[in-house]
Amino acid sequence: KLDKEEKSPDYITGGREEIVSQIFGGGVSGDIEFNPDVDSLPWFLKWGLGTLTSTQDGVSSAYSHEAKILSGASLRTFKIFKNVGGLPSAPLLLQDSACKINTLELEIVKQDWLKGKIGINGRDEADGTDVSGTRTSPGIFKLPVYDNCTAKTAPVGTTDFSAISAADDIETAKLTLDNNLSTDDIIMDGTGKPRSIPEGKANVTIDLSSRDTSKTEYNRFKNGTEFALSIIADTGVLIDSGVSALTYGLEIIFPRCRYGSYPLNISGNEQLTSNSTIRALRDTTAGFLVKAVVANAVDSYPDAV
């Protein structure tokens, strides 16, 4: 949406009526909710985290795409084209320019699809053009579901979780990235548009609901012990059967974490559950705060398409 606000000065007029008003503000903002598939997800990770590196698995048609937050790497901007109504012969087309991802959420819910949500800040809204293409379905095998999702914990600095067993049974897992974009750099030309949208300090939190089968994770919370965490949403479907062992899926790695809260839910004779909040921290050895790896059959995600 286009961000505008009407304000009136506090004149003493002898009455209760407003006699002057002015429209202030500029820029655009809004949210998009979606079910990520493994082909489109790297675009959102690239825009949300800042960097993306693609690697082919040998001579196969399987590729892995690694997104990270790196110091000194600015977020990329993009345009949003919108058909917001009107007549079929004369649709109302709008275009949001210089957009950046302010917040990115990825959520795994038991017996459901992977869910995503992005919060966007942009510089301006203008008339758009029709860029609609042919709508396609990603196919059921490219939509990671909970039944193939696990969480693993390990000592601080761990970045390879392939030989580590899954932790407690996960009910839900939600990653929230906040880039803390600033829209206060306003051009003083009467338009209210931001000159730029600089990034602030990136914050990453994980909300985890699990059925606890041991005291391992609770003891980490009680003792303030830091740890590494991996969340995997895998389809189990081979990308290039017989040539590559990679399967369509997503893995998010946090090399250094700490529990912020760990409330235990006790109800009669039901199994013990917890709803913990985890804060991700940058690990100097691993060199990153968070890393997301997507495996699919797409070879690259260029800056301009």
- CA–CA gap between residue 39 and residue 235 (Å, rounded): 13
Mean pLDDT over 209-214 rounds to 81
Name which of 142-156, 180-194, 238-252 the model is least confident about.
180-194
Please state which of the ranges 30-34, 140-144, 224-228 shows the lowest mean pLDDT: 140-144
Q: What is the pLDDT of residue 127?
A: 84
Question: Residue 237: enclosing H or E segment and its boundaries?
Answer: strand 227-238
Which of 30-44, 107-121, 189-203 has the weakest average pLDDT?
A: 189-203
pLDDT score for 6: 59
Asked if residues 219 and 225 have their Cβ atoms less than 8 Å apart, the reply is yes
Predicted confidence at residue 96, as pLDDT, reads 85
C-alpha–C-alpha distance, residues 239 and 252, integer Å = 19
pLDDT attached to residue 71: 74
Per-residue confidence band for 134, with pLDDT thresholds at 50, 70 and 90: low
- Residues 20-30 pLDDT 10s: 655 555 678 89
CA–CA separation, 62 and 256 (whole Å):
29
Whether pLDDT at 194 is above 60: yes
pLDDT of residue 57 exceeding 70, the answer is yes
What is the distance between the alpha carbons of residues 145 and 128, in angstroms, rounded to a whole number?
Answer: 36
User: What mean pLDDT is reported for the chain?
Assistant: 83
How far is residue 232's CA from residue 244's CA, in Å, rounded to a whole number?
Answer: 19
Q: Please give the pLDDT value at position 29.
A: 86
Q: What is the pTM of this model?
A: 0.83
Confidence (pLDDT) at 7? 59
- In angstroms, the CA 298 to CA 52 distance is 13
Q: Work out the pLDDT band at 124, boundaries 50, 70, 90.
A: confident
Q: What residues are paired with 97 via a beta bridge?
A: 124
pLDDT number for residue 36: 85
Give 281-301 pLDDT, tens digit per residue: 999 999 999 999 999 999 999
Instruction: Name the DSSP letter for residue 76.
Output: P
